[in-house]
Amino acid sequence: MSTAANYQAAEQLLRRIARPGELVVGDKVRPQWIEDGRRFWYQVRDGDDRQFIVVDPAAGTRTPGFDPMPFVAAPGNPLEVSSPDGKVAVSRRGQDLWARSGEREWALTTDGEQDYGYGYGPDVLSYSTLMRKFGLPHMPPALAWSPDSAKVLAHRTDQRKVRQTHLIESRPADGGAPVTHTQRYAYPGDADLPFAELVVFDIAAGRTVHAQCDPLLMPEVSPIAAGWAWWSEDSATVYFLTRPRDQRALTLNRMDASTGEVTVVLSETGTNRVAPNQLIYGTPLVRVLADEVLWFSQRDGWGHLYRYDLHTGELLGQVTTGQWLVREILHVDETNRLVSFTAGGLVAEDPYRRTVCRIGLDGTGFTVVTDDSLDHVVTVAPNGEYFVDSASTVDTPPVTTVRSWTGEVLVSLEKADISRMIATGWTAPERFRVKAADGTTDIYGVLYKPRDFDPAQSYAVVDSIYPGPQVTRVEPCFEPGGMGLDGEPLAAVGFVVVALDGRGTPGRSKAFLDASYGRLADAGSLEDHVAALHQLAESRPWMDLSRVGVMGHSGGGFAAARAMLDFPEIFKAGVSLSGSHDATCFMQGWAETVDGPDNPEAWTRASNVGIAARLEGKLLLIHGELDDTVHPDQSLRLADALIAAGKDFDLVIVPGAEHLLLDRLAYVRTRSWDFLVRALMGVEPPAYRPAPIVIDPEVLGEML
């Protein structure tokens, strides 16, 4: 049974997102670099108190009581992007770009127009509602300064022909009449998509140079913001990646910044999507060196690095090899011909844990730098001489150190203190491994036990779901996923909570990831979730599989409803938050990336609307009225189909709320807990109501 004390504990865990340092101290070290990385400072939050510490890795010192103010830049315009030398800043005004140097201002462009302007990505992932709610009219312009501070790389966004969609703000802040918000938002199969026209502004010479190539397809994110376009170290060349709509080829291009001439450096093709990273929105694992290119490819069935000749495009050799995956390129030492990177799959008990490694560019001398079984989250110093390493597991609090590239600990920084979180009744999640529904493939997840767990009791179970395939639901580090919003608070309410990554999600082999290609309807192998629940309950009799629920957000909202519809004998209650229930009228880039282009049958299969009549259990749909990422019509379409089928369900439309529902977080989560308590525990939830959660813009910036 859930009690007021359980809700209070759940509220404390939920509030961690807004108040870092309240329950856990010393778990996050975010270096602020001094002198190009020779030293850095960071802060430790302890409730409302903040301590500032300066670190000198060369001297091996960590000194508290540091005053960071002399090293903190004076407050400036957050919507400007300054040059590396700090002399010029560029901002966006309306549809155009402007430059400023001191008091002098001038227009870089004057021909911007609505839906054909400069310095921004497509509307579809602009989070406009979120920006408005937190007082930002728009994001800083999407652009990149050349290293010599002389030129700016930007793009003109063309979404003039993209489908228009509309949101209604029923109760504006001024109390006036409802307001319509219009955005450009392409659906799968649409003929017209957003494009990016690359352009270089030579600030010193006052010249504008346009790329002499076709505009770049830009379904969701600016290529500059996504790291798909960047400058050479000598500021003479722009390199950028392109991919056709079917995503079956990936090309590295070279643009002469003075003429706009574009040539192809190298290209790779495949039978399905070819990507520069297993994570769909991950930074490309591509590095252009003096005469070579490091290139990520999954051509041998795993994600590895290959070396090409920069001038001829000739393949020079495979750098890394083995049944494991390169997760991130950390540093390339061209002088000593070494590349450092993180790899997944080298820790036998958990292939998702990240290990820091080094290898020669010729593929010899492979070395494990962090020779342990922990997961390592790494931040590299700007000078490349060392890295800040946070080592943890899902049940081991992080220990943060500064390390050399040989693995030597130069300075010990923090050991996270979780005593306050334990005092709430929290216990660390249990990492598990079970077999997928095929009976042979290993899949991994975590299990959270209820507060005041008693193995003699019987507990309802909730699957906290997100299906991928662009991210893993369960990271191998101390905070295994969901931003702390789902698993931990749900367990505190009184549920056994399970979260896992089925086949079709990233972090493993290409075959494991490709299990989802063309199968968005399977929601990250829901059959694997069912198989996992049965295997877990075999050795845990306190898991009551007659009382199983499911809860998820966004793609997880789709998966939660899909679980109810596809496996009604297992999932008796579900909460779907901001769910993308109908792929036929959802985000083009998402649906086509997962199911492929020109595949309307697959998009139709990935619609909960068409199978709404299958609903047997209790379902709660929650959606923000101003969700400009997954439009509220997604939940309303499903609601309409459920009504037509005569099905009982609950629907909450949150006025004014955006996709993440952040400004109504406490209310939305409490409604979710209440619903699951009633449906799965068969009792009325406690009367206790958490206070609203106010998220500081600084914390929001760290989240995003």
Instruction: Write down all domains in the chain, each with its CATH number in brackets.
Output: 426-703 (3.40.50.1820)
Q: Are strands 144-145 and 229-231 parallel, antiparallel or unpaired?
A: unpaired
What per-residue confidence (pLDDT) applies to 74? 64
User: What's the average model confidence in pLDDT over 621-640?
Assistant: 98
What per-residue confidence (pLDDT) applies to 72? 79
What pLDDT, in 10s, does the model give residues 253-305?
999 999 999 999 999 999 999 999 999 999 999 999 999 999 999 999 999 99
Whether 704 shows a pLDDT value over 60: the answer reads no
518 band by pLDDT with thresholds 50, 70 and 90 = very high
Whether 176 shows a pLDDT value over 90: the answer reads yes
What is the separation of C-alpha 289 from the centre of its chain, rounded to a whole number of angstroms? 28
Residue, of 36 and 636, whose pLDDT is higher = 636
What per-residue confidence (pLDDT) applies to 2? 84
Residue environment code for 308-342, b if the CB has 16+ CB neighbours within 10 A, otherwise e: bebeeeeebeebbeeebbbbbbbbbeeeeebbbbb
134 band by pLDDT with thresholds 50, 70 and 90 = confident
699 band by pLDDT with thresholds 50, 70 and 90 = low
What is the separation of C-alpha 448 from the centre of its chain, rounded to a whole number of angstroms? 22
Residue 573 one-letter amino acid: A
Whether 675 shows a pLDDT value over 60: the answer reads yes
* Cα 497 from Cα 491, distance rounded (Å): 6
Q: What is the DSSP string of 517-541?
A: TT-GGGTTTHHHHHHHHHHHHHS-T
339 band by pLDDT with thresholds 50, 70 and 90 = very high
What per-residue confidence (pLDDT) applies to 217? 98
Considering the chain, what percentage of its residues have pLDDT values greater than 90?
A: 89
368 band by pLDDT with thresholds 50, 70 and 90 = very high
What per-residue confidence (pLDDT) applies to 698? 66
* Cα 337 from Cα 153, distance rounded (Å): 30
> pTM for the whole thing?
0.96
57-65: which pairs have CB atoms within 8 A and are 24 or more residues apart?
Answer: 57/381, 57/385, 57/386, 57/402, 57/410, 57/411, 58/410, 60/410, 60/411, 61/411, 62/411, 62/412, 62/413
Whether 137 shows a pLDDT value over 80: the answer reads no
What pLDDT, in 10s, does the model give residues 429-470?
999 999 999 999 999 999 999 999 999 999 999 999 998 788
476 band by pLDDT with thresholds 50, 70 and 90 = very high
What per-residue confidence (pLDDT) applies to 204? 85
Mean pLDDT (the chain) is 95
Q: Are strands 496-501 and 375-380 parallel, antiparallel or unpaired?
A: unpaired
User: What's the average model confidence in pLDDT over 158-166?
Assistant: 98
Whether 177 shows a pLDDT value over 80: the answer reads yes
What is the separation of C-alpha 97 from the centre of its chain, rounded to a whole number of angstroms? 28
Residue 322: left (phi > 0), alpha (psi -120 to 50), or beta? left
Q: Where are the alpha helices (DSSP H) in 288-407?
A: none
Whether 352 shows a pLDDT value over 90: the answer reads yes
* Cα 661 from Cα 669, distance rounded (Å): 10
> Are 111 and 122 a contacting pair, CB within 8 Å?
no
What is the separation of C-alpha 433 from the centre of its chain, rounded to a whole number of angstroms? 24
Q: Which two tokens stand for residue 119?
A: 């310095």
